[in-house]
């Protein structure tokens, strides 16, 4: 089961992701824009515990208010950088403590519907900040077994104008166009598919018509074409790509049917024209033996399996022999078009997901066992620490006429965190607000990332001995922050003040509110019938990390 | 005779086209939730090569109303 944690509605990613992921994969989605909470509580964020995790987020979704403040008022970004680093830490922690592979996206450069992307007053600063935040995120992940997918780079490749749909972002929190969602979903699926596969370690290259144009045995060391000008420039670009790969851990092996002296002479005399030098070569076989035999010999010499080899050659016969005798070697046919030769290393996409090696470290982590897991959890912030750091403040009040519209809206659209799903129209809500027999509660929530507005509502029938909660609901935006307990505590306190001794509540199941099925029993209420619960007052459920403000 | 519009809604709502009519709306169709609405906007735009404004999307409170919106945007034969 692949769990997807995203700061936006990720549904368009699912089909292309599954099409590119290993066959038989399934997907489950966490609530959108609950990135922190979902990472801290992976198991309860999904219908079943995922065995692979995908994390996709945008800075403007997760840290919107702080980012806007930085854009508008040019505030100090140090706090934002630290928040992003902490998010990276949480991603790494989720991978390490659950010992599951995690694929995490870099966040794209922020965009705002109200900001001209070519407004140089902010675009230049945003580019710099974006780089710093990506760096902070990657630093936070550290050495954890996380595979990075460069969403920021993919967005750049497609272009923001073609990748984003601001209408769908406004209406559905779904900012991606279908073509871009297709590309991103595919890339994520490929990243998941790469988890089980060994990263290529050896690039075995032919020489003639591969590293240069021409045949050294016929054209001579000075006659082969390589250098700054076309068509030698295409081959030189390929060599530059090999040098880059060598610098990033790949081993370059030269496998050529030639006289060794001719090859040595090219490296000696054409050094100024070439990017590759003999120092870059980890192994070489320049002789007249079969290339399959030579590849096997190099594998033995380097102590590696041939399944980590990529063999690059222009000759179909050589390629075919290797295909038949060493079927696990990846093959690349070198074209006779210089511009295609130039792009060979760029098209070795198996290296895309190699930066942080997932699988090996996951396996090591699994073997290290429970004690290490506990140590890792101890070193990183717990859910309680995280909640405490949020500085959550809940303002609980009795709504007046001005709030009736918003309260009615919440009553009619909240599906998931809704104990009874009783719908009411505006007239009914207005009547309840002024009713002597009822009390309506509303809660506004703020934390250090900003305000969430009016996000929770309760309707209580105030009997003499017993108060009964007829409606209790909350927006998904503030799930798992303890807001529900703050409002329940206020109801309990008021009931005690009014002289009641009992608080009752009910749960009516729907297809969408399963997450609150155990809400009352979890808080010490006892069942008195089908979906009916009660508890003797006083009640004590208010969490320590929440500051509750009441009307004076 | 197949109805192209019903075919799109059939895909978006995950229901056979035979169960759909111009009267089909969110209030009589449990699978027509906000996610299905989002997917149907994308499907409709692809199928009929139109770009819908938010006000037009808000008007599509039944299949019949969606048909009216699409016709008003010059989509023929639906």
User: Which of B39, B46, B54 is nearest residue A167 as measured by Cβ atoms?
Assistant: B54
Average pLDDT, chain A: 90
pLDDT band at A381 (very low <50, low <70, confident <90, very high): low
Contact A168 B30 (CB under 8 A): no
Distance CA A24, CA A28 (A): 14
Distance CA A491, CA A508 (A): 20
**Is A380's pLDDT higher than 70?**
no
Alpha helices by DSSP H, listed for A99-177, are 120-141, 151-158, 160-163, 166-172
Distance CA A403, CA A91 (A): 38
Give the pLDDT mean for A165-179. Answer: 93
| Phi-psi domain of A496 (left: phi exceeds 0; alpha: psi -120 through 50; beta: other) | alpha
Question: Nearest CA to CA, how far is B53 from chain A (Å)?
Answer: 8
Contact B38 A178 (CB under 8 A): no
Correct CATH for A387-550 of 3.40.640.10, 3.40.630.30, 3.90.700.10, 3.40.190.80: 3.40.630.30
pLDDT in tens, A34-84: 899 999 989 888 988 899 999 999 999 999 999 999 999 999 999 999 999
**The two structure tokens encoding residue B70:** 């699409």
Kindly give the pairing relationship between strand A532-536 and strand A450-462: unpaired
Would an 8 Å CB–CB cutoff place B59 in contact with chain A? no
**Residue A366: per-residue pLDDT:** 35
Question: Token pair 């006289």 is at which residue?
Answer: A259
- Residue A395 bridge partners (DSSP): A444, A549
CATH superfamily of domain region A202-350: HAD superfamily/HAD-like (3.40.50.1000)
Nearest CA in chain B to A169: B38
| Vertex B37 angle, CA B33 and B40, to 5° | 135
Total number of residues shown for chain B: 78
**The two structure tokens encoding residue A282:** 């980890």
Contact B34 A172 (CB under 8 A): yes
**Residue A411: per-residue pLDDT:** 92
**Residue A383: per-residue pLDDT:** 66
**Is A373's pLDDT higher than 90?**
no
**Which residues, 6 or more positions from A265, have their beta carbon under 8 angstroms from its beta carbon?**
A216, A221
Lowest mean pLDDT among A117-121, A306-310, A321-325, A386-390: A386-390
Contact B53 A167 (CB under 8 A): yes
Q: Do domains A2-195+356-368 and A202-350 have the same CATH topology?
A: yes
Contact A174 B38 (CB under 8 A): yes
Task: Indicate the pTM of the whole model.
Answer: 0.73
**Residue B10: per-residue pLDDT:** 95
Would an 8 Å CB–CB cutoff place A12 in contact with chain B? yes
A2-195+356-368 CATH: 3.40.50.1110
- Residue A397 bridge partners (DSSP): A442
Give the distance between the most distant pair of CA atoms in chain A: 105
C-alpha Rg value of chain B to the nearest Å: 11
Q: Which H/E stretch holds residue A182? A: helix A178-194
| Phi-psi domain of A482 (left: phi exceeds 0; alpha: psi -120 through 50; beta: other) | left
Question: Nearest CA to CA, how far is B45 from chain A (Å)?
Answer: 11
Compute how many other C-beta atoms are within 10 angstroms of the C-beta atom of residue A87: 25
Would an 8 Å CB–CB cutoff place A550 in contact with chain B? no
User: Helices A78-98 and A370-379 meet at what angle, rounded to 10?
Assistant: 170
User: Which of B30, B38, B53 is nearest residue A172 as measured by Cβ atoms?
Assistant: B38
Correct CATH for B4-72 of 1.10.287.3510, 3.40.640.10, 1.10.1200.10, 3.40.50.300: 1.10.1200.10
**Residue A512: per-residue pLDDT:** 83
Neighboring chain B residues of A175 at a CB cutoff of 8 Å: none
Q: Which residue ranges make up each domain of chain A? A: 2-195+356-368, 202-350, 387-550
pLDDT in tens, A270-326: 999 999 999 999 999 999 999 999 999 999 998 889 999 999 999 999 999 999 999
pLDDT band at A451 (very low <50, low <70, confident <90, very high): confident
pLDDT in tens, A413-441: 888 899 999 999 989 999 999 999 999 99
Residue pair A312/A332 in contact by the 8 Å Cβ criterion: yes
ipTM score assigned to the predicted complex: 0.86
| Chains A, B: CB pairs < 8 Å | 22
């Amino acid at each position: 089961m692949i769990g997807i944690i995203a700061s936006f509605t990720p549904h368009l990613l699912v089909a292309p992701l599954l099409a590119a992921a290993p066959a038989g994969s399934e997907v489950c989605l966490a609530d959108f824009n609950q990135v922190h909470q979902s990472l801290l509580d992976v198991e309860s964020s999904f219908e079943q515990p995922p065995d692979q995790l995908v994390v996709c987020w945008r800075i403007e979704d997760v840290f919107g208010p702080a980012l806007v403040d930085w854009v508008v008022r040019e505030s100090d970004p140090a706090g934002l950088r630290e928040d992003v680093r902490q998010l990276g830490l949480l991603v790494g922690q989720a991978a390490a403590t659950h010992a599951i592979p995690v694929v995490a996206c870099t966040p794209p450069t922020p965009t705002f519907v109200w900001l001209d992307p070519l407004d140089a007053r902010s675009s230049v600063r945003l580019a710099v900040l974006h780089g710093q935040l990506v760096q902070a995120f990657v630093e936070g992940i550290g050495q954890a077994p996380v595979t990075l997918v460069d969403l920021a780079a993919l967005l750049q490749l497609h272009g923001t104008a073609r990748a984003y749909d601001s209408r769908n972002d406004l209406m559905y929190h779904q900012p991606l166009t279908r073509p871009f969602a297709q590309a991103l979903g595919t890339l994520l699926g490929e990243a998941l598919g790469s988890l089980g596969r060994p990263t290529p370690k050896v690039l075995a290259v032919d020489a003639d018509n591969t590293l240069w144009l021409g045949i050294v045995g016929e054209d001579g060391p000075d006659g082969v074409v390589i250098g700054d000008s076309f068509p030698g420039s295409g081959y030189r670009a390929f060599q530059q790509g090999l040098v880059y790969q060598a610098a990033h851990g790949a081993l370059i092996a030269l496998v050529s049917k030639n006289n060794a002296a001719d090859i040595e002479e090219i490296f000696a005399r054409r050094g100024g024209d070439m990017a590759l030098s003999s120092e870059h070569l980890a192994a070489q076989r320049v002789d007249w033996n079969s290339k399959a035999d030579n590849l096997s010999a190099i594998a033995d010499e380097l102590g590696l399996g041939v399944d980590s080899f990529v063999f690059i050659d222009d000759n179909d016969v050589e390629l075919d022999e290797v295909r038949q005798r060493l079927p696990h070697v990846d093959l690349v046919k070198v074209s006779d078009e210089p511009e295609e030769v130039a792009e060979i290393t760029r098209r070795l996409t198996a290296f895309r997901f190699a930066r942080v090696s997932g699988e090996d470290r996951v396996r090591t982590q699994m073997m290290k066992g429970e004690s290490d897991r506990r140590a890792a959890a101890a070193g990183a912030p717990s859910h309680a620490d995280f909640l405490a750091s949020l500085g959550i403040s809940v303002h609980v009040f009795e709504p007046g006429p001005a709030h009736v519209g918003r309260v009615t809206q919440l009553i009619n659209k909240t599906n998931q965190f809704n104990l009874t799903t009783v719908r009411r129209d505006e007239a009914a809500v207005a009547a309840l607000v002024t009713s002597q027999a009822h009390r309506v509660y509303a809660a506004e929530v703020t934390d250090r990332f900003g305000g969430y507005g009016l996000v929770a509502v309760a309707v209580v029938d105030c009997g003499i001995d017993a108060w009964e909660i007829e409606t209790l609901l909350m927006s998904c935006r503030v799930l798992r922050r303890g807001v529900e307990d703050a409002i329940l505590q206020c109801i309990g306190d008021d009931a005690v003040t009014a002289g009641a001794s009992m608080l009752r509540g009910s749960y009516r199941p729907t297809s969408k509110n399963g997450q609150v099925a155990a809400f009352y029993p979890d808080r010490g209420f006892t069942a008195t019938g089908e979906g009916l619960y009660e508890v003797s007052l006083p009640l004590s459920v208010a969490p320590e990390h929440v500051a509750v403000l009441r009307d004076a | 005779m197949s109805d192209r519009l019903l075919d799109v809604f059939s895909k978006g709502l995950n229901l056979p086209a035979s169960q759909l009519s111009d009267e089909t709306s969110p209030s009589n169709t449990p699978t027509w939730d906000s996610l299905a609405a989002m997917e149907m906007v994308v499907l409709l735009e692809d199928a009929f090569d139109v770009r819908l404004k938010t006000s037009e999307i808000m008007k599509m409170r039944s299949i019949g109303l969606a048909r009216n919106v699409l016709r008003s945007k010059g989509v023929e034969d639906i």
